[in-house]
Structures are given as C-alpha cells and as structure tokens.
Amino acid sequence: MPTSPSETAVEAPPLNAAPLRGRRSFLTAAAVIVVALWASGAPAMVYPVYTAEWLLQPIVITTIFALYPVSLVIVLVVFGGISDYIGRRATLLIGLAIILAGVLVFALAPGVEWLFIGRVLQGIGVGLAISPAGAALVEFNPNGKTSTASSVNTAAAATGLALATVVGGALVQYAPLPSHLTFWVLAVVVAVVFVAVWFLPRGVVAQAAGPWRPRPLLVPRGIRLVFAIGTLSITAGFAMGALFLSLGSQIAKDLIKTDNALLAGAVMSVSALVMIAIVFIARSFSARTSIIVGGVTTAVGMLLLVAAAMSASIVVFLLSSLVAGAGYGLLFLGGLTIVNQYAPVHHRAGTLSAVYLIAYLAQGLTAVAVGSSATTIGLQPALDLWSPLIAVVCVLATVLALTFSRSRRVALA
C-alpha cells in the first residue's frame, strides 16, 4: 500500500464537532452497517433453494458468494476514501441505493444469471457504505470514545448477519415465494434506512484536502504496524465467515438431517448472536487483548468445525459456532478499535477502506477455494483442508498482536 510520509504515529482523537454528534445520527450509522451485512448474508439461506431448483454445484454457489467481496474490493480500490472528500451522508446514500438495487435483482431473479448481477451490485453498494458508516460511528458517537464506536460496529455487523439467517430461514421455510420474499422484506428495510440517512448532517466530516479523484488508498506511514495488526485480525474473521456463510447452510443441514430452513438458519445464527454478546463482555478489553484472545479462540472454533463434520454431531457443530463466533467478534472488535484509535481523522474512511479491501479480497478467495474443493473432493475433505488453514491465519493475528507496543506511539515499520 502507498503511504503518506507526512502522517504522525500518534493516536487520532475523535472529532470535536459537537453539532455532528447525536444519538440519532449514531444509530443511523449503525443501521447502515446492519442492513449492509444483512444484504451480504441474505442469499445464504436461499442457496439451498437455488441448488434444488436450478441443480447448482457448490462451486457455482460459492462463486456467486465470492462475487460480492471481489466487486467490493474493486470499489474500495477506486472509491475507498471518497467519503473523506464528498462527505459521509452523500456516500452512504449512494451505497444504500446500490444495495437496494442489488436486493431487488435477487427479489426478481428468474434464473441463476440474475444472481451474479445482484451479487455484484451488493458488493458495490456495501463497498461504498461500509467504511463511511464505520467512520461516521466514530464521528457521531455522543461520548467520543473510539472503543464504543468499534463495539457498536461489531454488534451491528453481527446483528445484520443474525437477521439474514434467522429472518431469511423463517421466510424461506414458512412464507410463500421462498426464493424471493426474503429479499422483498430486506428491500423495505433498506429503503427505511435510506430515508434515515437522508436526514444525517450534510457537512463533510473529516474533510481531506483538495478535490476527490481516484487515487490509491493511503496507509499513513506511522501506523503501518497498527494497520497490519488490524487488517490481519479482521481478515482472519472474514475468512471464517466466508466458510460459514457460503457452506454453513449445507453443513448445518447435513448434520441436523433436516430440510427446515429456519432450524438451519437458527443454528447458523449462533455465531452472530455470540458476537453480539461478546461486545458487551469484552468492553473493558484493550484492542491488543481482544485480538490475542480472539485469534486463539477462532482457531479452536475452526478445529471444532472439522470435528463436528467428522463426527456428524450437531452438539459439536453448535459448540464450534459458539467458539468461532466469540473469536470472530473479538478479532473484529480488536481490529476495528486499533485502527480507529490510530488512523488520522482526515484519512479515517480511507484507512478503513484499505483494511476492508484486504479482508474482503481474502474472503472472496477463501469462498472460491472452499467451494472448488467441496465440488471436487467433497464437503468433508474441503473442511479438513481449509479449516486448519484459517486457524493458522488466526494464530498469526495473535502473534502479530503480541508484538504491539503498549505505548501510545507505534514503532515505524
């Protein structure tokens, strides 16, 4: 990543623009993250329906899944720091409009080709919305604490994933139009959040100098170590999420031996619900502690997933979901907190975009690799291969966090 030699290594405090702070704006920014993650996870519960209706192979499903992070990464490369120039509100409105378009494509999809288009639109929309929403949480936070903003960010992301699996599972199982209705419901929610964002403050928050133009994402020189720690932590969690979201429904169905989508969705939501709980449990943790504990915990969860599939035990699968969900929550919370604490105010969204770029690219590659393996060698061997590799990445995040200085200054890389 290109760096800016002019940036210092000190912690960047939250903005002191009191008029921009307020509970309503703060909750609206959190709602954007909820619907963004809900949209990203919504197809997960419908994949088995598509598979049955259109006779799709696992590689097709995971490729559809992977188009989301791949298109998101492209958007982050080109537009990652745009909200630092045109403002959080304007960027969020554009992102939500494109998310809504993607959801409507899924809602109307008559064939598999539409799913590819819808997934690309979802990736573009979330790519535009996710970083400015995270930056807005810091800047609209009434108490001014970056740790609070990171905690709410983590909880909002987990809430979105839980809604995707539980609401999606219920609608697929018990409502008419199982491959469409869940997206119509989501479209209404996205539209409501769009209206709420319309009333956010119009001022450009943390405005960067000069007019916006496509440019490389900047990682300030003084926070290279922080950036590496935060990025690897979030990447490890996203890789675990790729495995669970792309194949979790099928894994759950194989273990539970049921076609009940709500039951499968409830099982899949365990990780997300644990993530929400861990936010409150770990509020007093430092970012470094969250990453260290989260890396080890997620690695254990991945190994338990292999054991669950080998033993065909729903109890072990639930245990793996609990443990991996707790670890993912800690990794995501710690990674966000450490980046938010040290990213310069006028490059906050751009720095977060650089983090998400790498994390989502890894998520897309993981989804394709796991799907390809599941198609060619089978689901169980694929889990045996990829779960331990993801566990290794989690351990690397822990090791890197152990090198982080406790002082407020970060050694130059």
What the block records as the tokens of 2 is 């290109």
The mean pLDDT of the chain is 81
SS3 category, 162: helix
Contact of 153 with 334, CB cutoff 8 Å: no
The CA angle 392-332-157, to the nearest 5 degrees, is 130
Confidence check: pLDDT of 7 > 50: no
**Cβ-Cβ contacts under 8 Å for 152 (sequence gap 6 or more):** 26, 30, 137, 279
Question: Looking at the predicted structure, is the pLDDT value of residue 24 above 60?
Answer: yes
Q: What does the pLDDT read at residue 268?
A: 75
Number of helices (H) and strands (E), helices first, in the chain? 14, 0
Q: What band does 408 get if pLDDT is binned at 50, 70 and 90?
A: very low
Nearest to 298 by CA among 228, 240, 384: 240
Task: Kindly write down the DSSP assignment for every residue of 238-306, as one continuous string.
Answer: HHHHHHHHHHHHHHHHHHHT---HHHHHHHHHHHHHHHHHHHHHTTTS-HHHHHHHHHHHHHHHHHHHH
Give CA separation, 62 vs 67, 162, 316, 355, in Å.
Answer: 9, 20, 24, 23
Beta carbons within 8 Å of 109's beta carbon, 6+ residues apart: 115, 118, 179, 180
> pLDDT (tens digit, 9 = 90+) per residue, 246-277?
666 667 666 667 677 777 778 778 888 888 88
DSSP letter string over 54-115? HT--HHHHHHHHHHHHHHHHHHHHHHTTTHHHH-HHHHHHHHHHHHHHHHHHHHH--SHHHH
Q: Is the pLDDT of residue 284 over 90?
A: no
For the ranges 166-180, 354-368, 391-405, the lowest mean pLDDT is seen at 354-368
User: Tokens at residue 396, please?
Assistant: 């690397």
d(CA 154, CA 237): 12
Looking at residue 326, its pLDDT comes to 92
pLDDT at 49 (0 to 100): 85
Mean pLDDT of 365-393: 85
Cα–Cα distance for residue pair 338/264, rounded to 1 Å: 35
How high is the pLDDT of residue 253? 67
